[in-house]
Amino acid sequence: MEISIAIDGPAGAGKSTIAKMIGKKFNLMYINTGSMYRAVTLKAMDANISENNVHDLVKLVGSLEMHFVEDSLYVNNEDLTNMINMPNISNNVSKYAAVPEIREILVKLQKDIAKKFNVIMDGRDIGTVVLKEAPFKFYLTASSEERAKRRYEELMSKGIKVDYNTILNDIIKRDFIDTHREVNPLTKASDAVEIDSSDLDIDGVVNVIVSYINSNI
Ligand code: DC
């Protein structure tokens, strides 16, 4: 049967790790929509285009061909996965993701992908906008301290030296911008299942989601 799964939640709630694992279990294409906003941010910063320069931003986004191979995002045939996860992108992405014209283009691209493939998508507006009709929607949360701790450990394990308090402040700032922007702010869809992962490990959350899907399929 056709299934599509929407996973939303704030930065660092474990969405991407969990979505990848669920995707493998149910044979779905995994689409990390945050990486698309990150790629636009990287390209815009490289080209010195600020978030206020909507005209140039729209032109830039139109010149980017994005596709996923496994879990990696290719932009104009270049794998940008590592670069877009660097802290300087994390610190600037919310500003660009708040630009309505950018959202319009990326949301359309995401909807087009979902029409062609069975997908699991993670992001901020998947259950509310991109996959409004998805039969399965989950909203993952965790305390900001727990999310900062996870991001900190993830970056340090990749050899990227960071400071815990800087990460925590970045997460709090990002949550604020993501939940307060005018267009498609982060919010739980009314029909999404909320899971607080503060006291659950990755396998614990995956088990909750898999059991829910299996008993509602
Ligand atoms: O999931 P992430 O941390 O990689 O997302 C990066 C940023 O992109 C995040 O600050 C909010 C934004 N985003 C968004 O606005 N809508 C999405 N569907 C996904 C991400």
Residue-by-residue DSSP string for 140-169: EE--HHHHHHHHHHHHHHTT----HHHHHH
Residue nearest (by alpha carbon) to ligand 1 atom 11: 94
Of all helices (H) and strands (E), which one includes residue 182? none
Atom 20, ligand 1: which residue's CA is nearest? 34
Alpha helices in 68-143 (DSSP H): 87-90, 93-97, 100-116
Which are the contacts of 74, defined by CB distance < 8 A and separation ≥ 6? 66, 67, 68, 80
Nearest Cα residue to 12 out of 177, 110, 145: 145
Residue type, 200: L
- Each residue's pLDDT tens digit, 109-139: 999 999 999 999 999 999 999 999 999 999 9
- pTM for the model: 0.93
141 annotated among ligand-binding-site residues: no
Q: Is 14 annotated as a binding residue?
A: yes
Ligand 1, atom 16: closest residue by C-alpha = 124
Residue 175: other Cβ atoms inside 10 A: 17
Summarize pLDDT for 64-95 with one digit per residue, the tens: 999 999 889 999 999 999 999 988 998 899 99
Q: Which residues 6+ apart lie within 8 Å of 162 measured at CB?
A: 87, 152, 155, 156
| Fold classified for 4-191 | Rossmann fold (3.40.50)
